[in-house]
């Protein structure tokens, strides 16, 4: 079975090709046969396509004026040149797409029919940066491989059953009726890493109270009980919740009114301020990247120190706020760029929960610890670092639709 995964972002396109045999052990992620990514932000004229397959790397400049052809040029590298792994694209059995927003109606993955494509189109106002790119991918594939099924895997789906008290905002109820509610994001990652943590610990998911911390450039935390999301920190949009690389996370909404009244900010300026100029970058004035912030701290930069302190404080606050709804905590999961790679952040976050007898093995935390439990044996809470593998998770969710 050959599964192509497309993961389109606002300024990038990632793709992987997996080959799954009937006897393949699906509990451990497979290496893709072929993988590629397009970054459209390299410069004003070109995007950069990077391909990796057969132990070979290829880099191709893609003129921005032909952005629409990017996916097709990317797919061509599957069947041509030294990254060739298939004779024909027709050998692909099915395609899985990461779709950022499923709205209220899509609580699980499904085959992309004209109706589903229309729903993705209708949800553009809720995901204006992503859904046009998703549609571009779906349509490019439909033109190239009209008979190959395509599956939508929604990033909101995992959160679709969070209870009303966590989902409904305390604003007039008519706005909930019009669709303003907490949707939550990073669902593919949270679901995958929680399942993987259960496997790593050898414990059934049904028995576990898990808090999953997806800490990357975008960050969110989810509370998972019996394998289901019961609360999550991102909300109506991915702006709510934690402090992020350049996003502010939750702030007093009256700050926006103040900026409009007193400083004449308009919608575009606010959007830019909250999404691009805030977070770790905004406070530190150094970088959105934790690595640069840690280097700046070592050089005595106080704003960098403050940025990291706020980040950790907010992660601890959100974790703490979810424990009562879970009724306890069995497993804390760290994943994504910061969660997987920053022992310092993990140590500082975990230190806040020593009152629960969460005991981190500090030595293990500083070693290579991907897909391992880094809590001490006497800890009441397990702490698992899991490599998030969204593309593999999408392939797994696509697999049941293969006929």
Binding site for ligand ADP (CB under 6 A): 216-218, 245, 288-291, 336-338, 341-342
Q: Cβ of residue 98: shortest distance to ligand ADP, in angstroms?
A: 12
CB-nearer residue toward ligand ADP: 29 or 149: 29
Nearest-CA neighbor of 190 among 233, 147, 151, 127? 233
Q: Which phi and psi angles does 82 have, rounded to 5°?
A: -80, 0
Active site (annotated) includes residue 155: yes
- Please spell the DSSP secondary structure of 117-167, one letter per residue: HHHHHHTGGGSTTTHHHHHHHHHHHHHH-TTS-EEEEESSGGGTT--HHHH
Token pair for residue 194?
């929680």
Between 216 and 235, whose beta carbon lies closer to ligand ADP? 216
- Give least dist CB 206 to ligand ADP, A: 28
In terms of CB distance, is 292 or 359 closer to ligand ADP? 292
Angstrom distance (rounded) from CA 124 to CA 347: 39
CB of 176 to ligand ADP, least distance (A): 29
Q: Report the distance separating Cα 248 and Cα 243, nearest Å.
A: 5
- Cβ 253 to ligand ADP shortest distance, Å: 24
Answer for the pair 120, 152: CB distance below 8 angstroms, yes or no: yes
- Of the two residues 269 and 301, which places its CB atom closer to ligand ADP in the complex? 301
For residues 78 and 290, which CB has a smaller minimum distance to ligand ADP in the complex? 290
Comparison of 148 and 292: residue with beta carbon closer to ligand ADP: 292
CA distance to 52, 246, 301, 362, 379, per residue, from 305 (Å):
38, 16, 7, 21, 29
Given 93, 155, 330, 391, the catalytic residue? 155
Rounded to whole angstroms, the Cα distance separating 369 from 377 reads 15
Nearest-CB residue for ligand ADP: 337
Cβ of residue 238: shortest distance to ligand ADP, in angstroms?
10
CA distances from 117 to 26, 67, 131, 142, 179 (A): 29, 21, 10, 11, 19
The number of beta carbons lying within 10 Å of the beta carbon of residue 199 is 15
The dihedral formed by the CA atoms of 256, 12, 394 and 122, expressed in degrees to the nearest 10: 60
Phi then psi for 247, rounded to 5 degrees? -100, 145
Query: Minimal distance in Å, beta carbon 117 to ligand ADP?
Result: 26
- Name the residues annotated as catalytic: 155
């Amino acid at each position: 079975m050959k599964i192509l995964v497309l993961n389109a972002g606002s300024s990038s396109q990632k793709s992987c090709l997996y080959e799954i045999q009937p006897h393949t052990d699906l509990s451990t992620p497979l290496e893709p046969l072929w993988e590629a990514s397009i970054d459209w932000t390299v410069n004003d004229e070109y995007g950069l396509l990077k391909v990796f397959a057969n132990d070979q790397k290829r880099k191709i400049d893609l003129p921005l004026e032909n952005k629409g052809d990017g996916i097709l040029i990317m797919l061509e590298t599957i069947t041509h040149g030294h990254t060739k792994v298939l004779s024909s694209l027709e050998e692909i059995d099915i395609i899985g797409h990461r779709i950022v927003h499923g709205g209220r109606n899509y609580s699980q993955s499904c085959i992309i029919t004209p109706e589903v494509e229309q729903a993705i189109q209708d949800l553009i106002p809720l995901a204006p940066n992503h859904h046009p790119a998703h549609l571009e991918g779906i349509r490019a594939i439909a033109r190239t491989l009209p008979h190959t099924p395509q599956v939508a895997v929604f990033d909101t789906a995992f959160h679709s059953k969070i209870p009303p008290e966590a989902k409904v905002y305390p604003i007039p109820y008519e706005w909930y009726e019009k669709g303003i509610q907490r949707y939550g994001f990073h669902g593919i990652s949270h679901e995958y890493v929680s399942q993987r943590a259960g496997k790593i610990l050898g414990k059934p998911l049904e028995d576990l109270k898990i808090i999953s911390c997806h800490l990357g450039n975008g960050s969110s935390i989810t509370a998972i009980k019996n394998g289901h999301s019961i609360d999550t920190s991102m909300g109506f949009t991915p702006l709510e919740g934690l402090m992020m690389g350049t996003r502010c996370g939750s702030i007093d909404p009256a700050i926006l009114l103040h900026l409009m009244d007193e400083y004449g900010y308009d919608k575009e300026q606010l959007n830019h301020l909250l999404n691009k100029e805030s977070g770790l970058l905004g406070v530190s004035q150094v970088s959105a990247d934790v690595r640069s912030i840690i280097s700046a701290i070592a050089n005595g930069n106080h704003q960098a120190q403050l940025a990291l302190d706020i980040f950790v404080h907010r992660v601890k606050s959100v974790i703490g706020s979810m424990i009562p709804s879970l009724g306890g905590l069995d497993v804390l999961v760290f994943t994504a760029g910061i969660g997987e790679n920053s022992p310092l952040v993990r140590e500082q976050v975990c230190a806040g929960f020593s009152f629960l007898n969460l005991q981190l093995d500090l030595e293990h935390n500083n070693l290579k610890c991907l897909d391992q439990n880094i809590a001490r044996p006497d800890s009441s809470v397990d702490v698992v670092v899991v490599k998030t593998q969204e593309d593999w998770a999408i392939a797994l969710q696509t697999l049941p639709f293969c006929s």
